[in-house]
Structure 1
Amino acid sequence: MKLIRRTTFSRMKLRLARLYGPEKAEELADRLYMLIGRYGVQPRDGYEMGAEAINWTEQDVVLITYGDMIRRPGESPLSTLKNFCDRRLRDAINGVHILPFSPSSSDGGFSVIDYREVDEHLGSWAEVQRIGRDYKLMVDLVLNHCSRQSEWFQSYVRGIAPYKDYFIEEEPGQEWLKGVTRPRPHDLLSPTETPTGLRHIWTTFSPDQVDVNWKSPDVLFDFLDILLDYVARGAVIVRLDAVAFLWKEKDTTCIHLPQTHEAIKLFRDVLRIAAPHVILLTETNVPHEENISYFGEGDEAQMVYNFALPPLLLHALLRGDSSYLQKWASGLGALPEGCTYFNFTASHDGVGVRPISGLVPEEERDWMIERIQERGGLVSYRAMPDGSQSPYEMNVTYRSALEVLGNPELGARRFICSQAVMLALAGIPGVYFHSIVGEHNWTEGPQREGGERRDINRRRLSWTEIEKLLDDPEGESGWIANVYASMLRVRRTCAAFHPDAPQEILATPGSFFALLRTSLDGERKVLCVFNFSEKELPLKEEWVREHLGHLPSRNLLRRKRQLDASDWNLGGYECVWLE
């Protein structure tokens, strides 16, 4: 039985008072005691609570995937996914992020109808938990909005308590609404007929995704219950989707509000008591300084998505110039203790361009967007306060984004170089399924009836298709998958790549990118050098010796144990991890 010290609940009571007023804090704290108690914790004053048990290591690599990314006749998609991971990735990953697997009405699962169920077309809770027994399970908590088809919203429409207070009504045309930060171009308010007349409901992301009203304590407690249910079913990383927009307040931008940060801190406090091993990961696709604010002072999320990395890395490789990437990476600075980045290059969404605001000039951003469009990519926009539209994300697979036009072999090498950079950086890597197999744009996806731009990066594959691709000795997908899996295996056995291991970004000409990682005990150093150009470039022995402290004995990315002359000349987009 876990025992909780008085100060822990005093802190949570203070957070409840900040969110809902001091007059409600005592009652809500009592309700919180009862909720946590349902999940095996007995609140009791005067006792010390155990410390958080976060134990990430260099072995942590998370596969990002939909539950039905691979399909095989006669088998549920979740079972097929586990069989694929066991067969192809067992020693290359140790975590699986199953993108929203609840019944949903749109947006690739992010318009949730019922949070407590698994979509029957994917499988069952038993199959989710089976994955969680062999891999660290990461799940989404979609807490800004739910589906119009949800029982919550249907009960709101009928005026049934407590759901009549679960959603946000506003009168259209108010001047302050023009200043609300928007990630999409559609109208903020969506008309809805109710028995008492027409209402205009807050819908940040789409008319089908209705924002919930966090000013209602019942909303908070519903989501806390869902969170603890997910944890009880095996989740060890919980991704807080679109959390930046959670709290709405009149005459504000309704993004990054203090109440939003307070709610995340409350979630962290609850997990510190009920499940100290669980990691909160915030998903905030915003400029870098705003993004890292969700670490708080080490009391909010333990991980945040490193959203600036995908567009900066893409720009650097397309330009053949790492200058902006170097400047950003060298200025990252120390994180609060117990915090790290979730590094990635691709996900189920596009490559965001908001995160590089202030890091790359607008003309360079626009140049990059043009290069992506040349490679078959699409662009999604968001509405601005003046009524104009601004680029929000580039919809493209990362492999297609890095295509070298007319030279697919060189394009494949450039793609692998991008992944080697991501894997070398301090943090925990998240690898999107389509990156592991080097999937190109699915141009038919957005053109289907009901398709959207993001579908270009969301193609589902049959078991037969994926096996054929990966087993073809002459095919690009098989080559990429083999090289990628090999890099992952190497990374997972090297203590210098521990998430907390020191990282030094080295000053180099723009055609190179280089960093030094040192294990926590100081015993292992790895010098990672990347050629960002198409040309062969020499590595100078004296420069390597200066930064590594000695001449290296091996390149971890090659199977041979000893270096030879070829290791000192990096071909186009070649990379080395020298030890």
Structure 2
Amino acid sequence: MLSIFEQLTERVEHHLNVIYQDVDLSISIPELSQQLLATMRIGDADSIVEPKQHHNSWDEKDVLLITYGDSVEKPGEKPLHTLHTFLKNYCADSVNSVHILPFFPYSSDDGFSVIDYSSVNESLGDWDDIEAITQDYRLMSDVVINHCSSRSAWFTNFIKGEGPGHDFFFTASPDIDTSMVTRPRTSDLLRLTETENGEQYVWCTFSHDQVDFDFTNPNVLDAFVSIIRQYLDTGIRLFRLDAVAFLWKTIGTSCINLEQTHEAVRLLRTLIEHAVDDAVIITETNIPNRQNLTYFGNANEAHGIYNFSLPPLLVNSLVTGSCKHLKSWLGSMPPAQNGTFFFNFIASHDGIGLRPAEGLLDDTELTTLVNTMQNFGGRISWRKSENGEQKAYEINIALYDALQGTTKGEDKWGLERFVCAHAVMFGLEGIPGVYIHSLLGTGNDYEKVRNTSQNRSINRHKWDYDSLVEVLNDPQSQHAKAHGRITELLNIRKNQPAFHPNCTQFTLQLGEQLFGFWRQSLKRNQSIFCVHNMSDQIQTLRLSDLNLIGTDTWLDLISQQTICMEDLEYQLQPYQSLWISNTL
């Protein structure tokens, strides 16, 4: 019988054989396997964690706050220290995890063009500040795995033709046909670079400051295993694999979602979960829904995947007053197997991606959504389609402003619509991620867009801590109202077993204006019927449509009102949400 280490070695070698099946390596697969295990510091039975299959290391109490390291600042104080203070003062009871967007030295893209993966950006703080946060919260770090900054030491060595990183980057001839390559940007794919070895054309999926790695070189893989090991040592337990869908390139293909990419994610999961038992991988793949789902594998790839179709579908429902597409999508979604989860979010540092809505909303509906968001101050980012045409790739807008009205224009229901959106997300199967500017009800930052000339800056406001405290102490401010209402929902959510990320979910058929789904915890015998009025008109809910068990006592968890079984109908105000639960 094979030992645990021998079994692990066989698994790693299998992953590597799939990844490098068409690559002529200068190192044998067994040697490479041992190198990676040594880098992850897994060398004997004492250093191996045997992961439990289909085990959920999360529950209904898990909520993640998404923020930049300097979203909250205070003069004379390190932003990471200020952020930690904000978390303790305003999130301690409602949030137990935090995603700090790239906190490394960078040259562009607000952190996603990393200069040095091993250092903390000095303008934010240092590793001691990161470790201090990990003592109070589960911390998610980005692993910007597809590309790095053109100002990194690795790329400098590429230009020199010697030193670490000199062979880390993917190059191609400008004469090749790249028409099949899928990209989220309109800039030229290849960047002409003068090197000591002559002219080289470097592959740049995103921008010419973001140069793509060449994972056919196993030293690139080993470098990222070393980076992940360092992050584990600092207490980081959640790893967001940024833009991972583009990791492997094969000329003549779309260069997205290739077999080797999926196998690389499986390999990283194998190494990480055998090093630390509660470490989690989340893949960031802003692509059409069916493609996104493939990153679960067979519960052997990503632990979590971003639920990218949720933001555009939910916003579309709330501004049109019809949930037909949202309902159809939810009803078609497979449940996440135990050991995996959906990472639900409705706002982020980027914007509302539209590719995940392809095939779910038609062109006319997408155009209406884009026009409505522009009416509320939003900006649009574009990409080149397969036939060379420009298509809307992403809506850049603060969620608070995105929901200030409908396709008919702005109205008085903005706050209720905004809260309804979060009530939907908090009830869905999966773990919710709340963007800091949604928690704070921050609006569009037009000044930052003017200063940076970047559309995404519209939803990347930086708060002065003292000014933030002042508005949060003002009960009439939109910020205090948003923070209070969202925090209240989160505090209710975390005490409901049926809101466990992997509990049963069933989509209800309640018409176009009422969006409903049912959650159930068999272990704790709890059922919750989540019903949301997606329109600006009063809607009638027939209790008979919910099939409530008459012998149970039912309570709306949000209003704390008992549901009287003798009432045949219930009137929902515009954008009102009900979480109807049997009492435990």
Q: Same fold (TM over 0.5)?
A: yes
Shift of 1:50: 4.6
Measure, in 1, the Cα distance between the counterparts of 2:370 and 2:88: 38
Contact 2:510–2:545 (8 Å) recurs in 1: no
Contact 1:162–1:218 (8 Å) recurs in 2: no
SS of alignment partner, residue 146 of structure 1: strand
Shift of 1:263: 0.6
Q: Which amino acid aligns with 1:95?
A: S
Shift of 1:219: 0.2
1:95 maps to which residue?
Answer: 97
Measure, in 1, the Cα distance between the counterparts of 2:249 and 2:65: 33
1:284 maps to which residue?
Answer: 285
Contact 1:17–1:24 (8 Å) recurs in 2: no
Measure, in 2, the Cα distance between the counterparts of 1:494 and 1:18: 43
Residue of structure 2 aligned with 1:171, choices 173, 178, 187: 173
1:244 maps to which residue?
Answer: 245
1:367 maps to which residue?
Answer: 368
Deviations 1:2-55 (A, max 9, x none): x7342221121122122234975974543443543455532369x993536641
1:465 maps to which residue?
Answer: 467
2:437 maps to which residue?
Answer: 434
Deviations 1:40-94 (A, max 9, x none): 532369x993536641000000000000000012221011111111001101000
Q: Which amino acid aligns with 2:433?
A: G
Shift of 1:192: 1.1
Distance change >3 Å, CA 73–CA 417, structure 1 → 2: same
Measure, in 1, the Cα distance between the counterparts of 2:196 and 2:159: 7
Contact 1:6–1:44 (8 Å) recurs in 2: no
Greater mean deviation of Cα atoms: 378-387 or 488-497: 378-387
Output the aligned Cα RMSD: 2.1
2:230 maps to which residue?
Answer: 229
Measure, in 2, the Cα distance between the counterparts of 1:418 and 1:75: 35
Measure, in 2, the Cα distance between the counterparts of 1:389 and 1:331: 30
Distance change >3 Å, CA 551–CA 510, structure 1 → 2: farther
- Structure 2 length normalisation: TM-score? 0.94
Q: Which amino acid aligns with 1:417?
A: C
SS of alignment partner, residue 322 of structure 2: coil
Deviations 1:255-287 (A, max 9, x none): 000010111111011113112211110000000
Correspondence list, 1:14-93, <5 A: 14-21=14-21, 24=25, 27-37=28-38, 39-43=40-44, 49-51=50-52, 54-93=56-95
Measure, in 2, the Cα distance between the counterparts of 1:574 and 1:141: 39
SS of alignment partner, residue 134 of structure 1: coil
Shift of 1:480: 1.1
- For the pair 1:155 / 2:181, whether they are aligned, the reply is no
Q: Which amino acid aligns with 2:417?
A: R
Distance change >3 Å, CA 408–CA 479, structure 1 → 2: farther
Contact 1:140–1:240 (8 Å) recurs in 2: yes
1:113 maps to which residue?
Answer: 115
1:7 maps to which residue?
Answer: 7
Distance change >3 Å, CA 162–CA 121, structure 1 → 2: closer
Q: Which runs of 5+ in 2 are unaligned?
A: none
Correspondence list, 1:175-574, <5 A: 175=177, 177-404=178-405, 409-448=412-451, 450-544=452-546, 546-547=547-548, 552-558=553-559, 560=560, 562-563=562-563, 568-574=570-576
Task: State, as a whole percentage, how many aligned pairs show the same letter.
Answer: 38
Distance change >3 Å, CA 370–CA 51, structure 1 → 2: same
Deviations 1:437-483 (A, max 9, x none): 111111122211x3300000101110022112211111121111101
Shift of 1:555: 1.4
Distance change >3 Å, CA 115–CA 162, structure 1 → 2: closer
Shift of 1:298: 1.1
Q: Which amino acid aligns with 1:491?
A: R
Greater mean deviation of Cα atoms: 193-202 or 474-483: 193-202
Measure, in 2, the Cα distance between the counterparts of 1:250 and 1:17: 20
Distance change >3 Å, CA 32–CA 76, structure 1 → 2: farther
Q: Which amino acid aligns with 1:13?
A: E
Distance change >3 Å, CA 16–CA 161, structure 1 → 2: farther
Shift of 1:562: 3.8
Q: Which runs of 5+ in 1 are unaligned?
A: none
Q: Which amino acid aligns with 2:234?
A: R
Q: Which amino acid aligns with 2:576?
A: E
Contact 1:17–1:25 (8 Å) recurs in 2: no
Q: Which amino acid aligns with 1:521?
A: K
Measure, in 1, the Cα distance between the counterparts of 2:147 and 2:464: 32
Distance change >3 Å, CA 393–CA 322, structure 1 → 2: same
SS of alignment partner, residue 17 of structure 2: helix
Shift of 1:557: 1.0
Distance change >3 Å, CA 48–CA 370, structure 1 → 2: closer
1:141 maps to which residue?
Answer: 143
Measure, in 1, the Cα distance between the counterparts of 2:404 and 2:519: 29
Greater mean deviation of Cα atoms: 148-157 or 356-365: 356-365
Measure, in 1, the Cα distance between the counterparts of 2:269 and 2:563: 47
SS of alignment partner, residue 135 of structure 2: helix
Greater mean deviation of Cα atoms: 567-576 or 209-218: 567-576
Q: Which amino acid aligns with 1:204?
A: T
Measure, in 1, the Cα distance between the counterparts of 2:84 and 2:529: 35
Measure, in 2, the Cα distance between the counterparts of 1:425 and 1:552: 23
Q: Which amino acid aligns with 1:121?
A: S
Shift of 1:424: 0.5
Contact 1:91–1:489 (8 Å) recurs in 2: yes
Measure, in 2, the Cα distance between the counterparts of 1:54 and 1:133: 21
Shift of 1:541: 3.0
Shift of 1:386: 2.8
Q: Which amino acid aligns with 1:252?
A: T
SS of alignment partner, residue 434 of structure 2: strand
Measure, in 2, the Cα distance between the counterparts of 1:400 and 1:415: 9
Distance change >3 Å, CA 39–CA 245, structure 1 → 2: closer
Measure, in 2, the Cα distance between the counterparts of 1:368 and 1:313: 11
Shift of 1:182: 0.9
SS of alignment partner, residue 496 of structure 1: helix
Q: Which amino acid aligns with 1:127?
A: D
Contact 2:56–2:340 (8 Å) recurs in 1: no
Q: Which amino acid aligns with 1:427?
A: G
Distance change >3 Å, CA 561–CA 403, structure 1 → 2: closer
Q: Which amino acid aligns with 2:202?
A: I
Q: Which amino acid aligns with 1:364?
A: E
- Structure 1 length normalisation: TM-score? 0.95
SS of alignment partner, residue 199 of structure 1: strand
SS of alignment partner, residue 206 of structure 1: coil
Contact 1:302–1:340 (8 Å) recurs in 2: yes
Contact 1:552–1:578 (8 Å) recurs in 2: no
